[in-house]
Chain A
Amino acid sequence: GQQLNQSPQSMFIQEGEDVSMNCTSSSIFNTWLWYKQDPGEGPVLLIALYKAGELTSNGRLTAQFGITRKDSFLNISASIPSDVGIYFCAGQPDPAGGTSYGKLTFGQGTILTVHP
């Protein structure tokens, strides 16, 4: 199935460092969502973005909805060990584009490892 291009695939960083990851698509999305998933668990919603150019923060996390509506970025500042996990971007299609409204298309995930 279709997936977004998410990069990097994995990151190994030291505690305290900042992290950046991004997601690109060939299709326009109406909504961008960022999730974190721990092993054996379901994805947990971190941030939702609804407007092109929107910049939204949730604690140490900041995400942006690209102005072309085809990309999104997630930054984590001052990483801590509990940030370890897999981060997924997800896009929801533009309902005016004739594609299904509601279903999410996910990236392949970014595996984040934080060394204390």
Chain B
Amino acid sequence: DTGVSQDPRHKITKRGQNVTFRCDPISEHNRLYWYRQTLGQGPEFLTYFQNEAQLEKSRLLSDRFSAERPKGSFSTLEIQRTEQGDSAMYLCASSLSNGEQYFGPGTRLTVT
């Protein structure tokens, strides 16, 4: 399967802990996006990479959140000092420059 993959699929953590998620995009895609989705809502944009450069960050991405794409391939999203409000599905998507974004299966985060 050559689609977008994400790891882990589920993460349960205690408030105040740090978590890190990984996304592996479709191999030839230069663009990578992170979105967050809460129950009953559509995904909301968090941040965007073109190759290894992080070109845009949403105001939703507080300073506790950091994302990297060090070699322009896989990406990581880290949340420090997690809060209960961080509980959500974190989705990664990738695309070429033509706009069709393909999503991974997501990482479901539960902060207790």
Contact = CB atoms under 8 A, between A and B. Distances in A.
Interface of A: 1, 3-4, 6, 30-31, 33, 35, 40-45, 48, 50, 88, 90, 92, 100, 102-109
B101 interface: yes
Contacts of B45: 1, 103-105
Given A103-B33, A106-B43, A107-B42, A44 B103 contact: yes
A85 to B, nearest CB: 13
B33 A102 contact: yes
The size bracket of the interface on B is 20 to 34
Given A33-B101, A43-B103, A106-B44, 16 more contacts: A1-B60, A6-B42, A35-B103, A42-B4, A42-B103, A45-B101, A45-B102, A48-B100, A50-B99, A103-B33, A103-B45, A103-B48, A104-B35, A105-B45, A106-B43, A107-B42
Nearest to A109: B42
Interface of B: 4, 6, 31, 33, 35, 40-45, 48, 50, 56, 58, 60, 91, 93, 95, 99-106, 108
Contacts of B104: 42
A72 B41 CA distance: 19
